[in-house]
């Protein structure tokens, strides 16, 4: 068979290791960073301070103000702190919210980023940044946004609560699943995507049963890295469009929304993307991807209805309208009535359409 594709690898350095003063010093040396500002969220501040101690006199301070949706006002405050403390690099310790802040700072100052992820969001390996100002979200993609170095340390993920681990892991799986039918898909990304789904599907039930299972956590982190790489390499489709609409216009929580919508988006696209579905099914060890993902969500004990996470019933029509407006490319055309039915099922917590 003749292959036609383009594949653009992204220049990130990936390290799976235990965080230590020596490792941090070596990685900051590679980046040419003399003094780093540590970024984290308010709940993880104490652990941010531990990293500051590891950095010794290369630590410029801790900015523990990262929040969801990367508000520009917070970024401006962080940039001011970076300048005041004379830092020439950032170390981000946390999930997608903290990584978002690091990216926003790098975009404005060009300082190198070292990311230490503690969830499975995958943002650390993408050149994508979503920022909010005055309630409006703007998403942009640029090589200047892509973090230079990522250190994945499994021990730093053990504290991620089981429920958040499950939804964050399914959020990661969504990147891989959509990569398999991306318009600009390619065989290398497909290999990563299938491997990612298999690793996450193996790991998540074990993590929910035993959150301190290091082997399962390690498998999930590996799957999350691969999933993030898929997100950074190819375009996303209906599933991501629906989740961005529900998050952006109705304030629904990020990972939870992805976890609920994924089986329904797969059912919508099943007939239009048979090869992708065969790979997802193989990775899940299920006969049908949509039913397999729905059963996995139930096994993990996550919320399976949009209603349960705050979606108003009278918002479904507007959500369907928004999803049809300026749609992302999708293997099956975006049909308003079918999308409205999909949303109704997801809202009620019904199984995806067979």
Site residues for ligand NAD per CB under 6 A: 41, 43-44, 68-69, 94-98, 100, 118-119, 121-123, 126, 128-130, 157, 159-160, 164, 168, 231, 254-255
Nearer to ligand NAD, 261 or 281 (CB): 261
DSSP state of 304: -
Cα Rg of the chain (Å, integer) = 20
Report the nearest approach of ligand NAD to the CB of residue 287 (Å).
29
The nearer residue to ligand NAD, 95 or 289, going by C-beta atoms, is 95
Mode of pairing for the β-strands spanning 13-16 and 36-39 = unpaired
Count, residues in the chain:
354
- What are the beta bridge partners of residue 71? 132
Nearer to ligand NAD, 35 or 137 (CB): 137
From the CB of 335, what's the least distance to ligand NAD, in Å?
27
Q: Shortest approach of ligand NAD to residue 272 CB, angstroms? A: 25
Residue among 61 and 95 whose Cβ is closer to ligand NAD:
95
Residues 6+ apart with CB under 8 A from 239: 174, 177, 178, 258, 261, 262, 265, 266
Neighbours of 309 (CB within 10 A): 19
Q: Residue 217: what are its φ and ψ, rounded to 5°?
A: -60, -40
Q: In 86-100, which positions are buried (b, 16+ CB within 10 angstroms) versus exposed (e)?
A: ebbbbbbbbbbbbbb
Query: Which lies closer to ligand NAD via its Cβ, residue 58 or residue 240?
Result: 240
| C-beta of 58 vs 254, nearer to ligand NAD | 254
User: How many degrees, rounded to 5, is the angle at CA 70 between CA 212 and CA 80?
Assistant: 110
Nearer to ligand NAD, 81 or 168 (CB): 168
Residues in CB range of 44: below 8 A, 6 or more apart: 64, 93, 94, 98, 118
Instruction: Provide, rounded to whole angstroms, the least separation between the CB of residue 141 and ligand NAD.
Output: 9
Q: What's the closest the beta carbon of residue 178 comes to ligand NAD, in angstroms? A: 12
Q: Which helix (H) or strand (E) holds 128?
A: strand 128-133
Closest distance to ligand NAD from the beta carbon of 4 (Å):
27
Residues 58 and 28: beta-carbon distance below 8 Å: yes
Q: How far is the CB of 65 from ligand NAD (least distance, A)?
A: 12
Distance CA 101, CA 68 (A): 9
In the bound state with ligand NAD, the residue whose beta carbon lies nearer, of 94 and 112, is: 94
Smallest gap from Cβ 168 to ligand NAD, in A, equals 5
* Alpha helices (H) along the chain: 21-31, 45-55, 72-84, 96-109, 162-179, 187-209, 214-233, 238-250, 254-269, 274-284, 289-300, 316-324, 336-348
Residue nearest to ligand NAD according to CB distances in the complex: 96
- Give 170 or 277: the residue with its C-beta nearer to ligand NAD: 170
Report in angstroms how near the CB of residue 255 gets to ligand NAD at its nearest: 4
């Amino acid at each position: 068979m003749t292959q036609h594709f383009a594949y653009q690898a992204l220049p990130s350095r990936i390290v799976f290791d235990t965080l230590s003063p020596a490792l941090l010093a070596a990685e900051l040396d590679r980046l040419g960073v003399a003094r780093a500002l540590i970024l984290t969220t308010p709940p993880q501040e104490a652990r941010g301070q531990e990293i500051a101690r590891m950095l010794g006199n290369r630590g410029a301070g801790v900015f523990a103000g990262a929040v969801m949706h990367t508000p520009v006002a917070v970024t401006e405050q962080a940039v001011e702190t970076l300048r005041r403390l004379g830092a020439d690099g950032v170390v981000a310790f946390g999930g997608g919210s903290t990584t978002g802040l690091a990216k926003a700072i790098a975009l404005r100052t060009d300082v190198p980023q070292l990311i230490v992820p503690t969830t499975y969001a995958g943002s650390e390996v993408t050149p994508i940044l979503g920022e909010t100002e005055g309630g409006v979200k703007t998403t942009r993609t640029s090589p200047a946004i892509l973090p230079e170095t990522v250190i994945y340390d499994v021990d730093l993920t053990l504290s991620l609560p089981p429920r958040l681990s499950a939804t964050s892991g399914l959020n990661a799986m969504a990147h891989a699943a959509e990569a398999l039918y991306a318009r600009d898909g390619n065989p290398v990304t497909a290999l990563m995507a299938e491997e990612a789904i298999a690793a996450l599907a193996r790991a998540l039930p074990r993590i929910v049963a035993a959150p301190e299972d290091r082997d399962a956590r390690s498998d999930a982190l590996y799957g999350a890295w691969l999933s993030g790489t898929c997100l950074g390499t190819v375009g996303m489709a209906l599933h991501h469009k629906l989740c961005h609409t529900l998050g952006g216009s109705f304030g629904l929580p990020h990972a939870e929304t992805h976890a609920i919508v994924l089986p329904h988006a797969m059912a919508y696209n099943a007939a239009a993307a048979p090869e992708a579905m065969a790979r997802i099914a193989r990775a899940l060890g299920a006969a049908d991807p949509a039913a397999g993902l729905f059963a996995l969500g139930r096994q993990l004990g996550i919320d399976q209805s949009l209603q349960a996470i705050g979606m108003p019933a009278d918002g479904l029509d507007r959500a369907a309208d928004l999803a049809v407006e300026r749609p992302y490319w999708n293997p099956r055309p975006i049909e308003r009535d079918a999308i409205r039915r999909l949303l109704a099922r997801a809202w009620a917590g019904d199984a995806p359409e067979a």
